[in-house]
Amino acid sequence: MISSELLELKNWKCVDVNYSHINYAKANTPSKPGLYLIFTNTPISDFNTLKTNIDKGAVDIRLRTSNPFKISHELLIQENANNNYCVYIGHHKNLRQRIKEHFWGSNGTGCLSLFKHKSLTKFKWQFYYLEISRLKYGEDSNLLRTILESKLKSHFGWPILCAR
């Protein structure tokens, strides 16, 4: 059974992410393995107007938010007009590296590169994370992180920016 430590956000640490403060975000995110969630107040309609980022490995956000997988909307995490809502759930062996990739870009694969789209910099963004070492499910491994990530998606719903 998965503990409430994993499923309740009050147990996670949160970093407010601002376009002009990369050093703050990096300094407040550990270089440790863990799970993470990205929250925003960005309307889906704004995601749908983005141009394709041609950087190597960058995700086509407009395509993702147009629901190309034809998934029933009741399985997706819904936009919340009054509050931030979760748009991404993931895991990585280095949380500090991943926050940088998802917000400021990378030459790697599968990063959102959110702030490469200037229109997204005006919205509120939060990076919630939970270090694997705080959990009691065994030593860190890609398999363990993948299982826990799947559990989060099963519990909360499917975030609109996730492909798998």
| pLDDT at position 68 | 57
Residue 161 lies in a domain: no
Q: Could you tell me the two tokens for 134? A: 């705080």
The predicted-structure confidence for 60-82, as pLDDT tens digits, reads as follows: 888 888 865 677 777 788 887 77
CB-CB contact of 151 with 6 (8 Å): yes
pTM here is 0.92
Report the alpha-carbon distance of residue 83 to residue 162 in Å, rounded: 20
Residue 57 belongs to what domain range?
4-156
Residue 164 lies in a domain: no
In this structure, which amino acid lies at residue 9?
Answer: L
Residue 163 lies in a domain: no
| pLDDT at position 67 | 67
Helix, strand, coil shares, percent, the chain, to 5? 35, 20, 45
CB-CB contact of 136 with 53 (8 Å): no
Average pLDDT of the residues in 16-43: 92
- Statement: residue 1 has pLDDT above 60: no
CB-CB contact of 56 with 46 (8 Å): no
- Tokens 């490995």 belong to residue: 57
Residue 66 lies in a domain: yes
Residue 20 lies in a domain: yes
Q: Could you tell me the two tokens for 11? A: 């147990």
- Statement: residue 96 has pLDDT above 90: yes
Residue 131 lies in a domain: yes
Q: Which of 97, 79, 109, 89 is nearest to 161 (CA)?
A: 89
Residue 106 lies in a domain: yes
Total structural domains within the chain = 1
Residue 162 lies in a domain: no
Residue 140's CB is within 10 A of a number of other CB atoms, namely 17
- Statement: residue 137 has pLDDT above 90: no
